[in-house]
């Protein structure tokens, strides 16, 4: 299916995707979703056979120091199975550390510890019935030092997903999220 906006840019590059529905947020009519004082925000039907890979841009603040996570969705429902895995590197000032977590029910995304964080996520094959993977570079401020985290994620099952949720571990989040499809 070719969309008018695909033709406008010659069918190349990234295309902003408008979700079919949003839970706890508001679509600006073009696809950028804003949310305010929400414990979670969900975007439905942003992944399809039209695109294979996606870019998610998230910028948000928090009501308190918290962690945010991401869960993949299908049929307007979060997948909470223990199939989420994450390998990560964290840099705070000159200190660098890393870790691995498997058999999780979501992917740890970032921690807006001083109330602000952003993430650039590249998601591979979410709609295909093969393993979905994601790479994320995110940043937040921690007592005057910038935290940079590089993550590699895998959903260790073969599920076709159509959307995702951003979830606050405690408190609420306010910000915006956009999803772009990479033209094939």
First-to-last alpha carbon distance for the chain, in angstroms, is 12
Contact 18, 5 (CB under 8 A): no
Asked, for residue 3, whether it belongs to a domain, the answer is no
Give residue 156's Cα distance to chain centre.
Answer: 17
Q: How far apart, in whole angstroms, are the C-alpha atoms of residue 90 and residue 34?
A: 28
Asked, for residue 24, whether it belongs to a domain, the answer is yes
DSSP class of residue 25 equals S
- Cα separations in angstroms, 54 against 46, 92, 133: 9, 28, 11
Asked, for residue 1, whether it belongs to a domain, the answer is no
**pLDDT at residue 138, rounded to an integer:** 83
Asked, for residue 157, whether it belongs to a domain, the answer is yes
Provide the domain limits for residue 37.
Answer: 15-182
> Could you report the per-residue pLDDT of 83-141, keeping only the tens digit for each?
999 999 988 878 899 999 999 999 988 766 667 788 899 999 999 999 999 999 887 76
Asked, for residue 4, whether it belongs to a domain, the answer is no
Domain count, the chain: 1
Asked, for residue 150, whether it belongs to a domain, the answer is yes
Asked, for residue 152, whether it belongs to a domain, the answer is yes
Q: What is the CATH number of the domain that holds 56?
A: 2.60.120
Flag whether pLDDT at 64 surpasses 80. no
pTM reported for the whole predicted model: 0.89
DSSP class of residue 46 equals -
Asked, for residue 5, whether it belongs to a domain, the answer is no
């Amino acid at each position: 299916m070719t969309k008018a906006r695909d033709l406008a840019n010659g069918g190349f590059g990234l295309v902003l995707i408008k979700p079919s529905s949003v839970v706890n947020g508001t679509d600006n009519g073009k696809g950028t979703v804003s949310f305010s004082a929400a414990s979670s925000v969900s975007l439905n039907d942003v992944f399809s056979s039209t695109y294979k890979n996606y870019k998610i841009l998230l910028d948000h603040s928090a009501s308190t120091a918290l962690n945010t996570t991401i869960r993949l969705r299908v049929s307007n429902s979060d997948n909470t199975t223990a199939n989420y895995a994450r390998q990560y590197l964290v840099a705070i000032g000159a200190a660098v550390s890393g870790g691995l977590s498997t058999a999780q029910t979501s992917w740890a995304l970032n921690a807006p510890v001083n109330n602000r964080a952003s993430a650039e996520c590249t998601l591979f094959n979410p709609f295909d019935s093969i393993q979905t993977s994601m790479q994320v570079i995110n940043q937040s401020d921690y007592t005057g030092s910038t935290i940079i985290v590089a993550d590699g994620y895998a959903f260790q099952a073969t599920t076709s997903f159509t959307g995702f949720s951003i979830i606050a571990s405690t408190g609420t989040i306010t910000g915006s999220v956009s999803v772009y499809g990479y033209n094939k």
